[in-house]
Amino acid sequence: MKIAVTHENGQVFQHFGHTREFKVYDVEDGKVRSARVVDTNGSGHGALAGVLNELNAGVLICGGIGGGARSALAEAGIRLYGGVSGSADEAVASFLAGKLAYDPDVQCSHHGEHQHHGGQCGSHGCGEHSCGGQ
């Protein structure tokens, strides 16, 4: 099994559609056998599901994610564990132990709300766009 995590500086990156890299963990017999950081090559939102599919990832751990991206992952057969923060390595260890704290209903859909919370989605600035995964 391969587990991908949106990644930045060792942490779970908080906006799927803007992640610049995934940390991909190869898991056998419930243990991480290897891990590598993979650049997304500027892919964004919907295209990232294709990147994960090419990596043969069966699981994605991330922070915020929009509805369109959620749908693309579901179509690709990738299980989503969103609303996660903190260390990427610790998140994977928690997942493998069956103790990962995640939000099955996580959404990043704050289009037009930038003035209300400073343009933040998780812990980053999204700029002037919808994080709805389009």
* Tens-digit pLDDT profile for residues 45-79: 668 988 999 999 999 999 999 888 899 999 999 99
- DSSP 3-state assignment of 18? helix
- Would you place residue 134 in the very low, low, confident or very high pLDDT band (cuts 50, 70, 90)? very low
Top mean-pLDDT range of 15-19, 71-75, 84-88, 129-133: 84-88
- In the predicted structure, residue 127 carries a pLDDT above the cut 60: no
What pLDDT is recorded for position 108?
64
Q: What is the CA radius of gyration of the chain?
A: 14
What pLDDT is recorded for position 46?
66
Q: State the DSSP code for 49.
A: H
Task: Give the pLDDT mean for 107-115.
Answer: 46
- Least-confidence region, from 54-58, 76-80, 95-99, 116-120: 116-120
5 closest CA partner among 57, 76, 68:
57
What pLDDT is recorded for position 112?
35
| Cβ neighbours for 30, distance < 8 A, ≥ 6 positions apart | 96
- Of residues 107 and 33, more confidence is placed in 33
Beta bridge mates, 28: 31
Which conformational region is residue 69 in: left (phi greater than 0), alpha (psi within -120 to 50 degrees), or beta? Answer: alpha
